[in-house]
Amino acid sequence: MIEEIQILNNKSAAQKPRAVEISETTNGFNVYIETYGCQMNVNDSEIVAGILAQSGFGITDKIDNSNVILLNTCSVRDNAEAKIFKRLEQLRFYRKQNSKLLVGILGCMAERLRGKLVGHQDLVSIVVGPDEYRKVPEMIEQSMNGEVGIAVKLSRVETYDDIIPLRTQGISAWLSIIRGCDKFCTYCVVPYTRGRERSKPFPVVIKELIDLYELGYKEVTLLGQNVNSYIDMENKVDFAKLLVECAKAVPSMRIRYTTSHPYDMTDELIEAMASHHNICNYIHLPVQSGSDRILQMMNRHYTVEHYLDRMRKIKELIPNCSLSTDIITGFPTETEDDHKATMDLMAEVRYDGAYMFNYSPRSKTKAYMMEDDVTPDVKGRRLTEIIEQQNKISRELNEAEHGLIHEVLIEGTSKKNKNEWQGRTDTNKVVIFDNYEQNYKIGQTITCKITRSTSGTLFGDVV
Ligand code: SAH
Ligand code: SF4
Ligand code: F3S
């Protein structure tokens, strides 16, 4: 059974484990951090690396050089956690080679499973939740004396606004502006693993942005589980205003944001995007279901009509905006009619891409109390249907790009072919082009004419 699929490459970087590189050790510890889950976790790993580097810890991108391995984990679906348990089994191999190797669990699984992880496989000696990362250096040191440590308190104020994340890729930066989530969708574990919403003060966001610009970054993505509920009460800045101020502060940088909630997708926010050329024309707006009954059971706070009205407004003000969404199939009580309503909504909106998942019951959530009554076979079949429909739409929308000209920010060489370059359009589509002998540089923006495509990638020639 297919469990999930992502089309459109914007989150692909967050799907595979990645290692944070490199800072020299002055205290003998070399830490290897592996990141799973969403972009917030990617930025959190950079924050942890920043905290560690400042205390003299080395950060390495080579697991074989490390004597501390930290897994920054995700709990959003059961398979995300299963992946970590598998990984821990593999890590026993490293422990066999080095009996002093220390393994720690960070992130949402640490918060959710807490003490249950300590000593897992005789391996895990520190467990640190998302709001306690300042304690990581001290906890690593203590665990060398044989102590096991757990720090999983959630905070109402922690935003790590004085920490400089150790970023390693110099073109595109993640910048968390709000942590936590207050929406409590009935299926979702995030409010329990990340705690209450709190926003970084407006002046801090602008300062971090300007620092990134001065370091040579070309693009920044403002992050939050619910990024458009950002609010700085003291300075009276909401998300639409913040976006405008960011766009004005660094006019030559591309500004992106994720993830927004349909309930908070205000006219002002859409207008802000339409009136600033450096705010990218791409919106990820998770709809989850096309059935009002299911949306209500999910506690999503909007109807299909509200959602479609937001889509209309976006298409009216930003005609070339690219759109993506998240869909959950097989939520408790979902009928064929509900499923068809989701298919219809996707056909009406015509998303450029979608992230599609089978419902996974999570303990503590409200939906956990509901019977998970859609059988795995039916869930699997419905998921296949929405994936096939989405693939077809993505392919058609990409074909409609043939002959169009895009500004492409070069990100590096193509993963498949080292003789080709890879970049991204303002609309967040990956473009592959060759002319490798030309001396292009990572971070340069070039103009490409699209010549062919697949459902996930555009191919073009430099013009
Ligand atoms: N805050 C963001 C992202 C949350 S997690 C948002 O609201 O969109 C990313 C996606 O995972 C969600 O949009 C949802 O589609 C999916 N998801 C969350 N909990 C899930 C669960 N229990 N089972 C299946 N998918 C889930
Ligand atoms: Fe989860 Fe809903 Fe919050 Fe997104 S908005 S993180 S789906 S509770
Ligand atoms: Fe996963 Fe936590 Fe992000 S549950 S999706 S890593 S906020």
Average pLDDT of every residue of the chain: 93
Average pLDDT over residues 4-8: 43
47-72 average pLDDT score: 95
pTM summary value? 0.94
Architecture of domain 18-151: 3-Layer(aba) Sandwich (3.40)
Q: Are strands 68-73 and 102-107 parallel, antiparallel or unpaired?
A: parallel
What's the CA-to-centroid distance between 312 and ligand 2, angstroms?
A: 23
Confidence of residue 8 (pLDDT cuts 50, 70, 90): very low
Residue 311 near residue 323 (C-beta atoms within 8 A):
yes
Q: What is the pLDDT of residue 5?
A: 43
- Going by the DSSP 8-state scheme, the letter that residue 227 receives in this structure is G
The torsion angles phi and psi of 271, rounded to 5 degrees, stand at -65, -40
Residue 251 has pLDDT above 60, yes or no: yes
The CATH class of 172-399 is alpha beta
- Residues 450 and 459 sit within 8 Å (Cβ to Cβ): yes
How confident is the model at residue 1, as a pLDDT?
Answer: 36
Task: Give the ligand at the shortest distance from the Cα of 363.
Answer: 1
Q: What is the pLDDT of residue 118?
A: 81
Domain at 405-462, CATH from 3.30.420.40, 2.40.50.140, 3.40.50.2300, 3.40.190.80: 2.40.50.140
What CA–CA distances, in Å, run from 84 to 33, 63, 68, 120? 13, 16, 16, 11
Comparing 168 with 429, the larger pLDDT belongs to: 429
Calculate what percentage of the chain has a pLDDT beyond 70. Answer: 94
CA 51 to ligand 1 centroid distance, Å:
29
* DSSP one-letter code for 415: S
Report the separation in Å between the CA atom of 102 and the middle of ligand 1, taken as the mean of its atom positions.
32
Q: Cα separation of 56 and 242, whole Å? A: 35
Per DSSP bridges, beta strands 445-453 and 405-413 are: antiparallel
Do the domains at 18-151 and 172-399 have one common CATH topology?
no
Task: State which ligand 1 atom lies nearest to the alpha carbon of 188.
Answer: 19
DSSP 200: P
Whether residue 261 contacts residue 224, with contact meaning beta carbons closer than 8 Å, is answered with no
Q: What pLDDT is attached to residue 13?
A: 37
DSSP symbol at 314: H
Mutate to test the pocket of ligand 1, among 188, 379, 382 (most ligand atoms within 8 A of CB): 188
Q: What is the rounded distance in angstroms from the CA atom of residue 188 to the CA atom of residue 344?
A: 24
Closest listed residue to residue 62, CA positions, set 124, 123, 19, 17: 19
Q: Specify the ligand 2 atom closest to the Cα of 182.
A: 3
pLDDT at 15: 40
* Domain boundary assignment for the chain: 18-151, 172-399, 405-462
Structure letter (DSSP) for residue 288 = B
Q: Ligand nearest 361 Cα, by number? A: 1
Each residue of 193-234: pLDDT tens digit? 999 999 999 999 999 999 999 999 999 999 999 999 999 999
What pLDDT sits at residue 7?
44
Work out the average pLDDT over 405-429. Answer: 92
196 lines ligand 2 (CB under 6 A): no
Token readout for 57 is 């810890």
Residue 168 has pLDDT above 50, yes or no: yes
